[in-house]
Structure 1
């Protein structure tokens, strides 16, 4: 698979840092990604980053880094968001959110949104004691 672009962004644990994350993500908009898929990936990125700040890093110092890697190919957009939180049972939480939330729910929709827009949504503890949220979205139509 040919990689069209790959980039990593690191920021502090701060909800205001989302603006910088989105500005960085805008750099990928010029690549041959269908608009609807790009918007869905942007939404998944917002939800993933926000969850890392609000939940994974709750109670951690603001300088605790969150790293994001985006890889673009002709067929998919792949993103990985690394946090330093204690981790959790992702599958159990996802199952719970799929059962208890809907489009009208006040909160707790982030995992549900990621699950609905992506082909792969995984969360695992890494050997370096970070957690990695992996999201992959295949394009609705392959790009040349």
Structure 2
């Protein structure tokens, strides 16, 4: 299991897990589930970027890692909200790859007219820490940490 990076530093405010079948139709369910984890201490701009990262991560798992897999193949998601960070983990059953090398290769072949391929760079640019690791059960875990300074005053 991939450990939470901030589990010993700050108190966890919320944590939730979701399993959804492979298929882009699951994206609306994923985003609806994620919206329930919102906490007013998270700046709106950070929250919106985290939604985008989650959408890109889920879409990548479905389109690339699970390409050709049965539609009931699961994508598992875990989100933990801390006082100063949000951590997301997305597990897939695809072939492992070197995330950093893939992003580097994509940057060298940057084609603005390309129909895809920008999602990983976007995830890297938004996340403060990202990793993609093979787990002992044969899955891959994309882990993203986004740090933020909490909003301390009430929003109305």
Q: TM tier, shorter chain?
A: over 0.9
In 1, Cα distance between equivalents of 2:112 and 2:31: 23
Paired positions, count: 143
Q: Which runs of 4+ in 1 moved over 6 A?
A: none
Aligned to 1:97: 106
- Tell me if structure 1 keeps the 8 A contact 2:89–2:144: yes
Residue ranges of structure 1 left out of the alignment (5+ in a row): none
In 1, Cα distance between equivalents of 2:81 and 2:98: 28
Name the Cα RMSD after superposition.
1.5
Bigger radius of gyration, 1 or 2? Answer: 2
Structure 2 residue corresponding to 1:55, chosen from 41, 64, 78: 64
- Tell me if structure 1 keeps the 8 A contact 2:41–2:150: no
Query: Normalising by structure 2, what TM-score?
Result: 0.86
Per-residue deviation, 1:99: 2.8
Q: How does 1:1-144 map to 2 (within 5 A)?
A: 1-101=10-110, 105-139=114-148, 141-144=149-152
In 2, Cα distance between equivalents of 1:35 and 1:103: 28
Residue ranges of structure 2 left out of the alignment (5+ in a row): 1-9
Per-residue deviation, 1:30: 3.9
Q: Name whichever of 18-27 and 94-103 sits farther off.
A: 94-103
* 1:38-96 deviations in Å (ceiling 9; x for gaps): 01111100110000000000111111100000000011000000001122222211111
Query: Normalising by structure 1, what TM-score?
Result: 0.93
Per-residue deviation, 1:104: 5.9
SS in 1 for 2:133: strand
- Tell me if structure 2 keeps the 8 A contact 1:71–1:77: yes
